[in-house]
Structure 1
Amino acid sequence: MNRLFIWLYPYLTAATRERIQMTLNGKVVAITGGGTGIGAGLARGLALAGANVTVGGRRSEPLQTLADSVDSPLPIRTHTIDVAENASIEAFFSDIRDQAGQVDILINSAGINIAKRTMAEMDPDEWDRVLRINATGAYRCMREVLPAMRDRRDGLVVNVSSIAGKRAISLGGVVYCASKFAMTAMGTAVANEVRHEGVRITNVYPGEVNTPILDQRPVPVSDEHRESILQPEDIAELVLTICRLPPRACVPEIVIKPTTQEWV
């Protein structure tokens, strides 16, 4: 439960307590980009809420470290995935279907940025690489789960985009903004396509978050700044709330930012 529920818990009836706890029990969740950062925070929060979480990333060691650190009702499953490789995506979702069942909730959290972010400095190959991971990778993952969601008329996809997917900001850089705008448009277009088939899609736009992607900033980020911005658990609490909504309710998009970060 998130902090709000913990605060309210003593005042709730037994039936309400059980309903809150059971909402996500056994739900099959797939999370990409989950070894560190936002994805790891989401995996931890959803697993503690009772979901059957499989978390994927390119390196097995961070995934296993995460899984070993969470004492959840169902152990976090791990499987490597490189969302830039179609075969890796297919293997990841095939494993989930075989070992856990059809995916109820997909969270597209895999993403990268580069250090040389201006048009003048950027290598064209880097354009292809960032788009392949941030946009095409998310599309490929959605393509793996949507047919079954549509068949059973139930399912949720959460795309972890960025405020750079709503505002073309210089801090994000040319290709990162382009890739996140692509994710935004894809999520919105597909949501409109499947809205009568019981499938919900939410685009989440975080502002600055203290994750390893900050290490790719052209200017180093201070420890003080890292502590002042959003933390992965903040995103997890928001997404948990979205996941707990009844099937009739959909959040198309939502912005979450540090209190001190400008929004224009």
Structure 2
Amino acid sequence: MSNSNIQNKIIVITGASSGLGEATARHLAARGAKLVLAARRADRLEKLVADITAAGGQALAVTTDVARRADLEHLTAQTIAQFGRIDVLVNNAGVMPMAPMARLKVDEWDQMIDINVKGVLYGIAAVLPGMLAQKSGHIINLSSVAGLRVSAGVGTVYSATKFAVKAISEGLRAEVGKDGIRVTTLYPGAIDSELKHGSTDPDAAAAMKSFYDAFEIPADSVARAVAYAIEQPADVAINEITLRPTRQEF
């Protein structure tokens, strides 16, 4: 497969310290992309950069909390300083604390809105002016199968945040496609990542563990989908990809 549309692209990935973000970083680095990796855990990012560099790739780590708009502005500035442009933003950072609404875990609702919704918006706000100026770019947003169907009983608020990502992506695509900017939304099912460990509610945590134990597929399944969207010619936008374990019904 040709690397031509991935090679030398400047790709920013949030939530890059583990799971889908880490797998995507490793996959795209092997395809010749130049990566800027963002997450809160600097030690994990630095190890990932060291691995990629040792394998002959190029990567930069920028400690980032996507719930802070200033951090996303800093991330963009660091990327421009190092590489001169941004070709792709992968809005991957997310959290999934599951619980029935009646448990009133309002702090967790706030956290999901701050990271899963506002974090995506802050990422878009940080890269969009540059992409509009260069008349090219690609924004890839991670939603979930829970952004297509409400995960009632334990994941209603999580679903709300992932439906929001769907709406943001659809509206952005309609607005900026004419400017040469591509928008892709991914809707993964049960993928091996740290998301499954995010629930403080014991019943929900047990349900998540058994669900993922039964169905999960490796994180590189999402990495390949991201690469597929990026590698298309500039006049082709893969707008939506839903991917699940073959046996997963939800």
Structure-2-length-normalised TM-score: 0.91
What is the Cα deviation at residue 122 of structure 1?
A: 2.8
Q: Separation in 1 of the partners of 2:111 and 2:212?
A: 29
What is the Cα deviation at residue 130 of structure 1?
A: 0.8
Confirm or deny: 8 A CA contact 2:141 2:169 kept in the other structure.
Answer: yes
2:205 to 205, 215, 219: 219
Q: CA RMSD in A?
A: 1.8
Gaps of 5+ in 1: 6-19
What's the counterpart of residue 24 of structure 1?
6
What's the counterpart of residue 173 of structure 1?
155
Q: Does 1:49 align with 2:31?
A: yes
What's the counterpart of residue 11 of structure 1?
none
What's the counterpart of residue 125 of structure 2?
143
1:240 and 1:90, CA in 2 relative to 1: closer, same or farther beyond 3 A? same
What's the counterpart of residue 251 of structure 1?
238
1:152 to 130, 134, 152: 134
Q: Over alpha carbons, which structure has the higher Rg?
A: 1
Q: Does 1:99 align with 2:86?
A: no
> Which structure 2 residues correspond to residues 59-208 of structure 1 after superposition, within 5 A?
59-70=41-52, 71-115=54-98, 117-170=99-152, 173-208=155-190
2:21 to 21, 34, 39: 39
Match for 1:144: what amino acid?
A
Q: Separation in 1 of the partners of 2:185 and 2:211?
A: 29
**Paired positions, count:** 244
Q: Separation in 2 of the partners of 1:262 and 1:174?
A: 18
Gaps of 5+ in 2: none
Q: Separation in 1 of the partners of 2:55 and 2:183?
A: 26
What's the counterpart of residue 40 of structure 2?
58
Structure-1-length-normalised TM-score: 0.87
Q: Separation in 2 of the partners of 1:227 and 1:118?
A: 22
